[in-house]
Amino acid sequence: TIKGFAFDLDGVITDTARFHAQAWHKTADAVGTPWSETLANGLRGVSRMDSLELILRTGGHEQDYTQAQKEALAQQKNDNYQALIQQLTPADILPGILQFLDELQQAHYLLSIASASKNAPFILDKLGIADRFDGIVDPNTLHQGKPDPEIFIRAAEIIHLPPTQVIGIEDAIAGIAAINAAGEVSVGIGDPQVLSAANINFKDTQALTLKHIQQSVYFQS
C-alpha cells in the first residue's frame, strides 16, 4: 500500500534546475569543459562535489586541480547559484504542484523531501511551502549522493515508512536510478526518452495528478 511520497526539489517543485545548469555552465567554461546536453542531463540531481568532478572528468581535467582549488570552484558555483535564487517567490512553484500537494494532503499521504541540495530549506522557505512536508532529508548527513539509493531510503525512514510504501518523484536520470534502487515506485517528470527507467512518466508537472498515478499498474492502493 502506498502511504507516502518523496519529492525531489530542483526541477520538480520549482525550476531551479535551470539555475543549477546556468551556474555549472559557467564553471565548465572556466575549466575549459565543453557544455553539452548530455553533460547537462548527467549533472541533474547530482551533488555539488560529484557535479564538479563530472565536469572536470568530461573535459579530461581531473588531474589539473588540487582539492583546495576544487573546493574554491564549488564555492564559486554555489555563490553564483545563490545569487540566482534570492528572488524566488511562491509564484515560482511549478504549475500543478500546489494542487498536487493539496490532493496528497487531503488523501492523508505523508510527504518528504529528498533533495541533494544544501540550499533546499532556503528554497522551500522562499516558496512558502516548507510546512507542507512531514520530513526533509538533511543532505549533510548522507554518505552517497544520487544515483545511490541512500537519500530515498532516508526520505522513507523520516516519514516512518518502508520504501515499498513510498513513491519517489524526480526529474533526473540519477534520481530515478536512486528511487528504483531504493525499492520505491519511481515517477519521472520530463522527457520519457531521457527518463526511460521511471515506472511512471509525466511530461511536466502540469500533467502530474494523483488520479493518473493511481491508474498506473505500479500503484498499489
- Residues near ligand BG6 (CB under 6 A) are 9-10, 17, 20, 43-48, 51, 78, 115-119
Q: Is 37 helix (H, G, I), strand (E, B) or coil?
A: helix
Nearest residue to ligand BG6 by CB is 117
**Identity of the residue, 139 or 163, whose beta carbon is nearer to ligand BG6 in the bound complex:** 139
Rounded CA separation 20/15 (Å): 9
Residue 158 interaction partner, one of Mg ion, ligand BG6, none, beta carbon < 5-8 Å per kind: none
Among 2, 4, 5, 11, indicate the residue that binds Mg ion (CB under 5 A): 11
Q: Say whether 191 is catalytic.
A: no
Full 3-state SS string of 74-102: HHHHHHHHHHHHCCCCHHHECCCHHHHHH
Q: Burial letters for 19-37: b for 16+ Cβ neighbours within 10 Å, e otherwise?
A: bbbebbbebbeebebebee
Question: Which of ligand BG6, Mg ion, none binds 46 (CB below 5-8 Å, type-dependent)?
Answer: ligand BG6
**In angstroms, what is the minimal distance from the CB of 117 to ligand BG6?**
3
- The DSSP code sequence of 23-35 is HHHHHHHHHTPPP
Instruction: Kindly state whether residue 145 participates in binding Mg ion, applying the rule CB under 5 A.
Output: no
8 is catalytic: yes
